[in-house]
Amino acid sequence: MTAASEVVWDLVRGAWRFAALSALVELDCPGHLEDGPLTVEEIAERCGAHAPSLARLMRVGASCGLFTAVDPGRYALTDAGRLLVDGVPGSLRRAVLVNTAPALSYATSNLAATVREGRSAFIEKYGVLYDHLATDPDLSHVFNEYMTDRALPMAQGVAERYDLSSVKTLVDLGGGRGHILAAALRANPHLRGVLFDLGHVLPDARAAFDEWGLSERVELVEGDFFASVPPGHDAYLLGSVIHNWDDEDATRILRVVREAMSDDGRVLLVEIVVPDDDSPHYGKDLDMRMLGLFGQGRERSRSEHDALLRAAGLRLAGTYDLPVHATLIEAVPA
């Protein structure tokens, strides 16, 4: 194979490998191996599968680094495979599940139509993702859990790397289950929080804050950040929110926040900052998710973030690197 064809084959094989990954997760093969190595027959019995077919699936899983063959036909989890077990710290199982959900797969398989029209084929069929999630509690639950898995390392990064000692109240807009806010509260005992999101998200958030013993320090507010947000506070966080929206909508949200915040307040965006060159980058791949689901919602470069903030009467004051390719962007009134 030439180097040029290898580039293309690698991309095609990515689709085959993702199909295998999805099947392994759906059958919960990693979960069955959690307590130790098993033979293909033993795994097949536990997940109700056809053993000779499963043998092939396990072989490709091992070739991708998810399992090791401790004996012929007997597999153990690797560190990467363990991340596909439900409930382990840092589990990425939901990242696979959410990407195979039929509605979200529709966005992927209709990407060309989206690019042709400049409008999301997903939105044409299902409406805006968050309205659709409100009608599908099961998908909403998996999506919120996936966002949680993704947000946890970012949350830890915000708590460790950003100084909130002079902030009185952190308002987490579109906060989901509130993991970033919770990590900030744990690291800053003086801090109070407001979690602001759509109504259908708040029961999950309420349960989470109760479980963490943080309910006393948090107010949960239902609302629409295009209309208004809780006014007069000194810090507003938007974690993975702005990338869901086109420039016009993103500016509208930021303007609402600018109007609500105190003049000495700050806005904290947790976003991906995409490099301006052609190097491979997680943000460029995730941008295909944004394109498919949200049309003109997008991952942005530093200068694009800067332009959005300026359009909303804000100014980029600093950036802080976070885990999982994210950046905390600090903005203050211009």
Ligand X SMILES: C[S@@+](CC[C@H](N)C(=O)[O-])C[C@H]1O[C@@H](n2cnc3c(N)ncnc32)[C@H](O)[C@@H]1O
- Binding ligand X (rule: CB under 6 A), the pick from 197, 204, 287, 299 is 197
Q: Among residues 180 and 316, whose Cβ is nearest to ligand X?
A: 180
Distance of CA 78 to the CA centre of its chain: 24
By CB under 6 A, the count of residues binding ligand X is: 17
Q: Is 184 in the site for ligand X (CB under 6 A)?
A: no
Q: Is 33 in the site for ligand X (CB under 6 A)?
A: no
* Contact pick of 162, 209, 225, 236 for ligand X (by CB under 6 A): 225
Among 43, 170, 235, 241, binds ligand X (CB under 6 A): 241
Nearer to ligand X, 31 or 175 (CB): 175
Among the listed residues 32, 179, 233, 243, the single catalytic one is 243
Give min distance, CB of 240 to ligand X, in A.
Answer: 4
Check: CB of residue 232 under 8 Å from CB of residue 260: yes
243 annotated active-site: yes
Q: Does residue 130 interact with ligand X by CB under 6 A?
A: yes
Residue 283 is a binding residue for ligand X (CB under 6 A): no
Taking CB under 6 A as the criterion, the residue among 240, 272, 298, 300 binding ligand X is 240
User: Whole-number minimum distance, CB 269 to ligand X, in Å?
Assistant: 10
Q: State the binding string over 93-122 for ligand X (x if CB under 6 A, else -).
A: ------------------------------
* Sites of contact with ligand X (CB under 6 A): 130, 147, 151, 174-176, 180, 197-198, 201, 224-226, 239-241, 244
What residues are annotated to the active site? 243
